């Protein structure tokens, strides 16, 4: 260990993380050494004096209190930053009507950069507070406002993938771009993000969904993504009417996934929101490209879109993570997404054959952390506490005596075990259980300080 007091931090306390899909690894007492944002050493099953394990280097100790534990930061694979003002609104309509009635009118307001600035700084502040250390954000069609979103992500220290939305057809007639403007502004947006000079913030090619783009535009976007190996995000097979409409708009393609495949938009850096109605054939194509699906169970329930079968995606080798999908989803926390994923899967089991096994809490914890990292192909740098990865972490607090306003369901006055505390977090927890949030070793949100 070569660190100095300024750049070497050592956490001493319980640790939980996911190293495989169906098991949560717990350590009652571990030491995690963080130097220059990276995990340089993990000592498991610590006993005795810390110095015996760390030697005599200079470091700053952070000893966790009773009821606290370290957990990897959450990955939100799919959310819409401009839709936060509509959070919890308009859940009475199916997707296509909801877009026309609630979503497009709100997104049009982002022509005003001042409005965007106000909303976006609060969006990033609130997702960080909820423990989202990595977020994939859709913006709007407006390049300058979406750059404001990327700037807010950069300023506040989140790991963010940000996309200017592309749409040149099937809108409300007003919220739409010409193909050449869509491409030109996407290039300008990529340039804006590169000028942030922040490796944590990356641009994402973001065709809204198939029907909102002509084949020409989809293909141009595919070429652009390939030219810079950029991330891609879009929606797929969320709602039955949307799937039917997609067939009408692209009659030459055999299915929805093929619309993206022929456009060069299925890559190992593509995230597809939803994927509820994908056939086995489509799932196999998606898997063969290394493309991932963002499962958004809260959104799928409120818009009555359907239930995504995560087990089937897994059986076809499709990578899966979780998305909150604000504003079709009503809660911006990945803790809620874990809980919703459990709930919809349990509901599905009531009318499936006995072979269908609902998701388990270790599996949704995997989806929220390492699964999200794998979906982004970032498993070498984030997702758990392996040496060499960036320290993206949450300091979880389940002890009400540490904090009088702690929410009742998650406080523990008795001596619950570590894995019981993890269960309480997943099934009953919320932002109040997140005491501190770190991205790449930097404290970016804490219940004692607020991000600017
Ligand atoms: O959940 C969704 N939110 C959106 O904004 C959207 N646009 C197309 N398809 C969509 N689905
Ligand atoms: Zn969405």
Ligand 1 centroid distance, CA of 55 (Å): 53
pLDDT over 70 (residue 97): yes
pLDDT number for residue 342:
98
What is the Å distance from ligand 1's center to 354 Cα?
Answer: 33
H helices within 229-350, ranges in order?
240-249, 256-262, 280-288, 297-302, 310-315, 334-350
Q: Name the residue with the closest Cα to ligand 1, atom 3.
A: 328
> Is the pLDDT assigned to residue 227 strictly greater than 90?
yes
The backbone region for 137, taken as left when phi is positive above 0, alpha when psi lies in -120 to 50, beta otherwise, is: beta
How confident is the model over 63-86, as a mean pLDDT?
A: 97
pLDDT band at 50 (very low <50, low <70, confident <90, very high): confident
Lowest mean pLDDT segment, chosen from 150-154, 395-399, 445-449: 445-449
Instruction: Report the chain's mean pLDDT, rounded to a whole number.
Output: 94
Query: Which of 179-183, 333-337, 444-448 shows the lowest per-residue confidence on average (mean pLDDT)?
Result: 444-448
Expressed in angstroms and rounded, the spacing between residue 154 Cα and the centre of ligand 1 is 25
Choose one of 110, 207, 238, 294 to mutate for the ligand 1 pocket test, by most ligand atoms within 8 angstroms of C-beta.
238
Look at residue 363 and tell me whether its pLDDT is greater than 90. Answer: yes
Burial of 17 (0-12, 13-18, 19+ CB in 10 A): buried
Distance (Å) from CA 49 to ligand 2 centroid: 49
**pLDDT at position 5:** 47
d(CA 394, CA 439): 9
Residue whose C-alpha is closest to residue 431's, from 447, 415, 412: 447
Ligand 1, CB within 6 Å, residue ranges: 80, 95, 99, 103, 208-209, 235, 238, 299, 325, 328
Find the mean pLDDT for residues 116-131: 98
Q: Which residue's alpha carbon is at the smallest distance from atom 1 of ligand 1?
A: 328
Tell me which residues have their CB within 5 A of the ion that is ligand 2.
273, 325
d(C-alpha 31, C-alpha 14), whole Å? 9
pLDDT grade for 3, boundaries at 50, 70 and 90: very low
Q: Convert 137-165 to b/e letters by CB count within 10 Å (16 or more is b).
A: bbbbbbbbbbbbbbbbbbebbbbbbbbbb
For residue 209, give the ligand 1 atom closest to its CA. 8
- Is residue 157 within 8 Å of residue 126, measured between CB atoms? no
Q: What is the pLDDT of residue 443?
A: 97
198-202, 288-292, 401-405, 446-450, range with the lowest pLDDT: 401-405
Taking the CA of residue 212 as reference, the ligand 1 atom at the shortest distance is: 8
pTM of the model: 0.96
Q: What is the mean pLDDT of residues 235-255?
A: 98
Cα of 137 from ligand 2 centre, angstroms? 9
- What is the pLDDT at residue 66? 87
* Nearest of 193, 149, 146 to residue 165 by alpha carbon: 146
Digit-coded pLDDT (tens) for 9-33: 999 999 999 999 999 999 999 999 9
Q: Which ligand is nearest to the CA of 213?
A: 1
């Amino acid at each position: 260990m070569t660190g100095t007091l300024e750049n070497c931090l050592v956490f001493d306390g319980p640790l939980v993380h996911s190293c495989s899909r169906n098991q949560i690894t717990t350590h009652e007492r571990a030491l995690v050494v963080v130097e220059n944002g990276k995990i340089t050493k993990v000592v498991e099953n610590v006993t005795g004096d810390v110095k015996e394990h760390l030697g005599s280097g200079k470091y700053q100790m952070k000893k966790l209190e009773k009821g606290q534990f370290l957990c990897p930061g959450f990955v939100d694979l799919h959310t819409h930053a401009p839709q936060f003002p509509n959070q919890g609104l308009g859940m009475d309509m199916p997707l296509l009507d909801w877009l026309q009635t609630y979503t497009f009118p709100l997104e049009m307001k982002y022509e005003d950069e001042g409005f965007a600035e106000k909303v976006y700084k609060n969006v990033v502040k609130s997702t960080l507070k909820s423990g989202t250390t990595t977020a994939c954000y859709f913006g709007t069609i407006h390049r300058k406002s979406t750059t404001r979103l990327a700037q807010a992500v950069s300023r506040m220290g989140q790991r963010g993938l940000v996309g200017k939305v592309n749409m040149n057809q099937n809108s409300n007639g007003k919220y739409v771009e010409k193909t050449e403007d869509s491409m030109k502004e996407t290039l300008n947006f990529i340039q804006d993000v590169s000028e942030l000079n922040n490796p944590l913030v990356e641009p994402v090619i973001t065709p809204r969904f198939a029907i909102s783009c002509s084949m020409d535009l989809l293909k141009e976007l595919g070429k652009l993504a390939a030219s810079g190996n950029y991330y891609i995000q879009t929606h797929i097979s969320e709602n039955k009417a949307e799937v039917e409409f997609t067939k009408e708009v692209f009659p030459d393609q055999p299915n929805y996934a093929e619309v993206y495949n022929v456009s060069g938009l299925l890559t190992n850096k593509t995230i597809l929101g939803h994927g509820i109605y994908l056939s086995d054939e489509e799932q196999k194509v998606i898997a063969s490209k290394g493309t991932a699906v963002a499962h958004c169970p809260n959104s799928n329930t409120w818009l009555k879109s359907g239930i995504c079968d995560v087990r089937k995606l897994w059986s076809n080798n499709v990578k899966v993570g979780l998305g909150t999908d604000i504003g079709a989803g009503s809660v911006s926390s990945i803790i809620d997404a874990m809980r919703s994923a459990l709930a919809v899967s349990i509901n599905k089991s009531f009318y499936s054959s006995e072979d269908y096994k609902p998701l388990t809490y270790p599996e949704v914890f995997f989806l929220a952390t390492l699964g999200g990292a794998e979906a982004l192909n970032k498993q070498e740098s984030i997702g758990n506490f392996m040496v060499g990865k960036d320290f993206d972490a949450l300091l979880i607090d389940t002890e009400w005596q540490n904090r009088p306003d702690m929410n009742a369901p998650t406080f523990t006055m008795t001596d619950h075990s570590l894995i019981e505390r993890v269960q309480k977090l997943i099934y009953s927890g919320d932002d109040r259980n997140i005491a501190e949030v770190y991205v790449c070793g930097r404290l970016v949100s804490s219940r004692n300080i607020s991000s600017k």
